[in-house]
Amino acid sequence: MNIYKKMIDCALDSQKKAYTPYSNFKVGACVLTDSGKLYGGCNIENASYTPTVCAERVAIFKAVYNGEKKITKIAVVGKENSLTYPCGVCRQVIREFCSDDCEIIIIKNEQEYKIVKFSEILPYSFGPEDL
């Protein structure tokens, strides 16, 4: 199975785990690290709203907790048949751990997806090497 198909399956499976009693907007994400491992994530909402965490950050934090600090690709799925891009906060969190040529895979449905480079969605960014 090719890596894109694996990541799409992982993101779609993760989306099913979303905890979204407030928005009912379910998001799934899948991170591929430089070790070749996949980490899934879903959004987890909160009655106090602001503590809500996006699917992308759950996937990234799981990877980092497991000792992985280099993301090579990240896939995201939101509403079926539309393109859900990472929010601004998640873009900055991806920036912390992404490689220069990191691919963002925006999943439309099980068969269709779009790939953009990280630098396209967060140009002129600020990261660890700027400190």
Of 33 and 43, CB closest to ligand THU: 43
56 in catalytic set:
yes
Out of 87, 92, 108, 125, name the contact with ligand THU by CB under 6 A.
87
Amino acid code (one letter) for 99: S
Query: Residue 34 burial (CB < 10 Å; 0-12/13-18/19+)?
Result: exposed
Q: Is the dihedral of CA 78, 29, 44, 127 positive or negative?
A: negative
**Number of Cβ within a 10 Å radius of residue 122:** 18
Could you say whether residue 92 binds ligand THU (CB under 6 A)? no
The reply to whether 25 sits near ligand THU by the rule CB under 6 A is yes
Active site residues: 56
By CB under 6 A, name the binding residues for ligand THU.
20, 23, 25, 27, 43, 45, 52, 54-56, 86-87, 90
